[in-house]
Structures are given as C-alpha cells and as structure tokens.
Amino acid sequence: MTLKLVSLSAASAALYAVIARVSALPGAAYFSSEWYDAPSYECSVEFWVLWLGLVGLYAIAVHLARDARGGRPAMTVIIVAALAFRAIVLWSSAFDAEPRAAFLQSPTPLTTLGNELLPSETTRRLAATGFDVAAMALAPSLLTAAGLPVTLVVVHAWNPLAIIESSGRGRLELAAFFLLLWSIKRAQKGQRAGAAALYGACLTGPLTLVSTAPLMTRLLGSRGALAVGIGTAGWWLSGVGVGATWLERIGWPPEGLVGGSLTPVLSALASLFVTRSPWPPLALAIGVGFTVITVRALRIDTKNPSGQIPREALFASVGLLFVAPEVLPVMFVLAAYLGAYTHNRGWLFFTATAPVSYVAGAISGFGFWMGFAQFFLPFTALVFWGLGRPPPRRAAG
C-alpha cells in the first residue's frame, strides 16, 4: 500500500505542478484557445484533462487508504504529499481569486472580517491553507474515535477541490469548516462550553452550515442556545446583508437563471402551475430538509456519539445542498472533510464536477442544462448510495 501511495503522490504532484504552471499562462497560450473564447482557465480543455486526472488518482488513493494495514509509513506518505500538493499550488499557481459562479455568493461576517484583516490575495491564500491544514490535523483523532483507519485522512488531505479552494483561491469559508470540526472534537470529549463557543463562531460562516444546528443543539444541550446566540450576534453586529433581501442573502440565483440545486427548479415549475413567488417552494423544500435532519439528530445516542457526529454533520451539510439556493464548489469541500465517515462515494462526483460552476460564471447563457449537468450525477449518487449510512467498523491502523 505504501509504495502505491508513493507512486500516486508523485504522479499527483506532477499534475499539480502542471496545473499551477498552466494557470499562470494567458488564455491565448492554451492549446484549446482557438475554439473557446471564455477567459476562465477552468473553461479550457487543458484544465479539465488535468483535473479529471487528479480526481482519478485521488479516487485510487482513497480506495487504498481503506486498507488499515498501511500503518505509520502510509500516514507519513499521505501527510507529506498533502503538504507538498498545497505548497505547489500556493507558490506556483495563478488562479483567478474572483468567485466564478452563476449563483450569488453572499458575504458572511467571517469572510468580511477576513477580507478586512487580510487585504492581499497572498495572505488570504496563506490563511485559507492554514485553516485547511488545521482541519486535516483534526482528522486522525476523529477517525480513531469513530473506529476507522486513520489512513482515511487521505479523503480530506488529497482532495483536489480542498487544495485548489484553499491554496489556489484563498477561500476563507474554510475557517468555518475548521471551526465545525473543532467543535465536534470538543463535543466528543464532553467539553460542551468550548464546543458551543466554536460552533457559534462557525455559524458566522456560510448560511448553509445552519443545517447542522439540530445536530449540534442535540449534542450541546442548553449550551446550544449560547452557540446560536454567538452566531446571531455575529451577523447582527457585522451588518452583513443590510439592505439586501433574504433571497439575496441566502444566494437565490439571479433572475433568468436556474441554480444547481432542486429548489430553484421547483420554483420555476411552481411559477408555471401554482405561484410566481419563490417563497412557497423554498419554504417547503427547506422545511422538509430540516425536518429530516432534526429527526435524525433526535435518534443519536448522546452517551456514545463519537462515530455518529461527523457522519450526521455530513448528512446535514451536504443533504441540505439539495434544496439550498446557493450551491458553490467551496461547499463541496466540507463533503470531502467528512467523507471518510460514510461508505458513500457521492462526494467523489461532487469533486469531479464542481468546477463546472466556474465555467458557468465565465460564459453566457447559463441555464437549466448547465446546472443539470453539474449536479444531477452527484445528487443521484447520493440518493441511491444512501448518504449517511454508517460504514463497517474496522480497527484503526
């Protein structure tokens, strides 16, 4: 296993080096530039060939990591390679830092504060990489608590989307994901006050993370109110979203566009047959989603939740993407952070197709079929492969 991981890491490092090099070239230098005129590097054939190659190597590495016999040598290879991948992208790439998505990307208190404290792109990329690595460092203990091989840290450590979004784009939303994992770790140890404070800070990040509130409230008990209070205070004191409609705050796609989740599609259908207001289908979809999440949270054994917390956080955060108006690639990173805790492989499809959002932001005429192409396959995989079903327990390596 270890020798195979060494070979995979070398091949992956070479692909990251090429991606980093090509991303810095002008669009006219691409081989495919003669027949595509979009400015985004992600629109080029070169990027997609390299990206799918990386995803393929990543999938093989995940498969190998499920063999717990790798032990410490395998872990060493995984961690060293993961740091090397991030260093290559951090210091050698030139990805467009502007979010390229056909959906609104609403600001959050956390990202607004981060942008004020870190005005340069370089410092934001360094900070995002730091949060990503810190989240990766939490994985071994969380995996051990769940009775899973620690080598499954590769699910997060080698995920190409996590690497590009942190080291390549400097996405500060990753700080909220780190805070979520840290709060889960503290909750597992019974440190509810600390977990509540961390989770409250997490709630100042992307609003989609509110989907984990029923789970964390179940675990934190009365201290869950403290966490919600911290998150609410963060939004109120920051003034983020003042003057915007709630639809704009939660990322409803601009008029004439159909977002990648199911809710805008339901709204478009409802406008033909029932109502022209987007609120009824939005309220119905989110209401059903939170009902399912809450019921699952109530079934958790709070006396021995170690293996259930990360898996249920995965179910809540990724499951709500089915109905959340805003579906951006950075939200798929959380699926990679938590993907090791379920046998489901749907997040691999998310990783493979996520950059379609950036393509959509660089071309005109984005509509239903582009969203369908991006999200239908992973959504279908998640439905039929049983998102959230517990994996078989195995001895930690």
HEC letters along 169-188? CCCCCHHHHHHHHHHHHHHH
Q: What is the pLDDT of residue 28?
A: 62
24-76 pLDDT per residue, tens = 776 666 666 555 555 567 777 788 889 999 999 999 999 888 776 667 888 99
Residues of the chain below pLDDT 50: 99-104, 395-397
Q: Is residue 397 part of a domain?
A: no
Q: Is residue 391 part of a domain?
A: no
Handedness of CA 240, 245, 246, 249 (dihedral sign): negative
Q: What is the pLDDT of residue 160?
A: 94
* φ, ψ of residue 112 in degrees (nearest 5): -65, -45
Q: Is residue 214 part of a domain?
A: yes
295 within 8 A of 218, measured Cβ to Cβ: no
Q: Is residue 394 part of a domain?
A: no
Q: What is the pLDDT of residue 38?
A: 56
Count of the separate structural domains present in the chain: 1
Residue numbers of the domain that contains 149: 2-384
Q: Is residue 337 part of a domain?
A: yes
Handedness of CA 197, 189, 396, 311 (dihedral sign): negative
Q: Is residue 243 part of a domain?
A: yes
3-state secondary structure the chain: CHHHHHHHHHHHHHHHHHHHHHHCCCHHHCHHHHCCCCCCHHHCHHHHHHHHHHHHHHHHHHHHHCCHHHHHHHHHHHHHHHHHHHHHHHHHCCCCCCCCCCCCCCCCHHHHHHHHHCCCHHHHHHHHHHHHHHHHHHHHHHHHHCCCCHHHHHHHHCCHHHHHHHHHCCCCCHHHHHHHHHHHHHHHCCCHHHHHHHHHHHCCCCHHHHHHHHHHHHHHCCHHHHHHHHHHHHHHHHCCCCCCCHHHHCCCCCCCCCCCCHHHHHHHHHHHHCCCCCHHHHHHHHHHHHHHHHHHHHCCCCCCCCCHHHHHHHHHHHHHHHCCCCCCHHHHHHHHHHHHHCCCCHHHHHHHHCCHHHHHHHCCCCCHHHHHHHHHHHHHHHHHCCCCCCCCCCCCC
Q: Is residue 396 part of a domain?
A: no
Q: What is the pLDDT of residue 34?
A: 54
Q: What is the pTM of this model?
A: 0.85
Q: What is the pLDDT of residue 107?
A: 76
